[in-house]
Amino acid sequence: MHIYLVGGAVRDKLLGRPEGDRDYVVTGARPEDLLALGYQPVGRDFPVFLHPRTGEEYALARTERKSGRGYHGFVFQADPAVTLEQDLARRDLSINAIAEDEHGTLIDPYGGVRDIEARVLRHVSAAFVEDPVRLLRVARFAARFAPLGFTVADETMALLRQMVAEGEVDHLVPERVWAETRKALAEAQPSAFLRVLRGCGALCVLYPEVDALYGVPQRAEFHPEIDTGVHVEMVLDAAAAIAPGDDLVGFCALTHDLGKALTPAAEWPRHIGHEQLGVAPLRALAARLRVPAEHAALAELVCREHLNVHRALELRPATVLKLLAALDALRRPERLEPFLAACLADQRGRLGHEHDGYPQAAYLRRARDAAATVTAAPFVAQGLQGPAIGAAMERARIGAIAEMKQCNI
């Protein structure tokens, strides 16, 4: 029996990145061998075990054979005869197909070290096309490693296009698409995720509402980048910088301008009312991919209200209170920060505006705090009842916001 560290832990060590989960492959062993050593079985489709002390995953070396459509259509073989090289051959990218033995010696049969040095994402074998999830994983790894200079190999992009053309992507279930997309939105450069998907033709299949934004012009005086799709890429990367690792802010950034794709071409480059137009495609996208309710709800608020946030310093106190009420920010103050982060990302996701200040955010925080000082108790003490209490509180909150604004002019 031999044990090897494999996958992401080896890759990240070579890249000088913090190591995440450590996964191991075991060759020359049977399930009963690991059970006798106290390992706990967890794999349903193939033998995976948890180490009795560390809880780390140990999988028996295995091969896989395509038996149907989609990513469930595989038959696995795991027995003592399967070699490490055979196990590594079934992995997606060469940089993920490197192993390390107990002495620290690297086993790299598919050139992963070379591709790390060359900053290339390259598939291991032609079997790559058999699993459509790999297309999403390549796009996600592009989002993670683009800041390090990684690009997708031409031959790998050709395989991605082949997978789309042959309909493999059509067999991805919504939960898996969302799971990979959510991870990509939390990476350092999510725009690379969109570019890879668009480059292979998968974006129009998986996210047609986003794909439709490319080629739609905006007013150059406000958007020097002009193309709405490019703007969304820039907003995604701004969101990743403002709220690192926050896929909620990332999803809001991804969907905030979907309405611009619905503007009649005769009205370009103006997009009057795109905030409201964007709600329907956002809801359709969220329902289709079964996006979590809070992601969908906050994204809809950003879609509808981001222009009001940009104009916050010009709004009447009553309108500011209405905005805070729409966000439910008085009862749920934790919603305010991701909402503002997404709006700030929209402000900065424009050519030449990457470092803009955003006093609107501080103003809305102060407005929320001022409104929150108003409680029902004084009005109850005055003898008010029912709707009269709510009306009095609303007037008082508008007054508190007005006073705050006057004091900060």
Give the domain CATH number at 19: 3.30.460.10
Q: Does an H or E element contain 151, and which?
A: strand 151-152
Tell me the whole-structure pTM to 2 decimals: 0.93
User: Is residue 26 in a domain?
Assistant: yes
Q: What is the pLDDT of residue 45?
A: 67
User: Is residue 100 in a domain?
Assistant: yes
User: Is residue 78 in a domain?
Assistant: yes
Q: What is the pLDDT of residue 127?
A: 87
User: Is residue 383 in a domain?
Assistant: no
Q: What is the pLDDT of residue 68?
A: 52
First and final CA of the chain: distance in angstroms? 73
- The three-class DSSP label of residue 227 is strand
151 within 8 A of 182, measured Cβ to Cβ: no
CA 179/CA 197 separation, integer angstroms: 15
User: Is residue 327 in a domain?
Assistant: no
User: Is residue 68 in a domain?
Assistant: yes
CA 40 to chain centre: 32
CA 186/CA 183 separation, integer angstroms: 5
- The three-class DSSP label of residue 100 is strand
CA 364/CA 352 separation, integer angstroms: 25
**CA angle, corner 372, sides to 371 and 376, nearest 5?**
100
Q: What is the pLDDT of residue 408?
A: 76
**Among 396, 408, 406, CA closest to 318:** 396
Q: What is the pLDDT of residue 198?
A: 98
Structure tokens at 174: 């919504």
The amino acid at residue 251 is F
**Among 127, 200, 126, 210, CA closest to 165:** 200
User: Is residue 47 in a domain?
Assistant: yes
- The three-class DSSP label of residue 41 is strand
- The structural domain count of the chain equals 1
CA 181/CA 44 separation, integer angstroms: 25
Q: What is the pLDDT of residue 235?
A: 98
CA 396 to chain centre: 40
Q: What is the pLDDT of residue 233?
A: 98
Taking 50 as the pLDDT cut, the residues of the chain under it are 70, 73
- The three-class DSSP label of residue 398 is helix
CA 288/CA 14 separation, integer angstroms: 39
Cα dihedral 315, 321, 322, 323, rounded to 10, equals 70
User: Is residue 183 in a domain?
Assistant: no
Structural domain boundaries enclosing 29: 1-115
CA 231/CA 378 separation, integer angstroms: 48
365 within 8 A of 408, measured Cβ to Cβ: no
**Among 240, 216, 212, 241, CA closest to 228:** 216
